[in-house]
Amino acid sequence: MTIGYRKIKFAVDITGIAGVVFLFGFIYNQLFLPVKFTFHAVVLMSIAGLFCFSAFIFGNYAMQSGKGAIVQVIIQSQSVIQLILEIIFEARIPSIFEVLSMCACMAGAAIIATAKK
């Protein structure tokens, strides 16, 4: 068993454990708390969880195969993309802090992407 395989297996295991903990929290919420999740919300959360789990696994694999810098650029820019989508779809006006954070995030991504090996 190689070191890389063990790291990916650990990532899968820890994500699975977190999923079980969240499942128990969801079941408790549905049975005992007054606010319930709708079926539509559960489907959307399940799809989001599947994408997050896949991104986590592929990100770990990319780190182990030597493409960590590219993965970090994508990870750093995800919050910027999320904010841009919120601005477009929800007509949300970002605060000055959010604009400065987006600029810092994109500057960090640009530095990583253009850095020489």
Q: ∠85-38-93 over CA atoms, to 5°?
A: 25
The Cα 106–Cα 96 span in angstroms is 15
Average pLDDT along the chain, 117 residues, taken 10 residues at a time? 58 78 90 90 88 79 75 75 86 88 82 72
Q: What is the largest CA-CA distance in the chain?
A: 55
- The pLDDT value recorded for residue 1 is 47
Confidence at residue 31, expressed as pLDDT on a 0 to 100 scale? 92
Structure tokens at 116: 């020489």
Q: CB neighbours of 37 closer than 8 A, spacing ≥ 6? A: 26, 29, 30, 45
Instruction: Kindly state the tokens that stand for 76.
Output: 């750093």
pTM beyond 0.85: the answer is no
pLDDT at 21: 92
Residues in the chain: 117
Task: Please report, for residues 6, 40, 71, 108, 116, the alpha-carbon distance to residue 111 in angstroms, rounded to integers and kept in the order given.
Answer: 31, 41, 13, 5, 10
Indicate the SS3 state at residue 66.
Answer: coil
For residue 74, what pLDDT is reported?
75
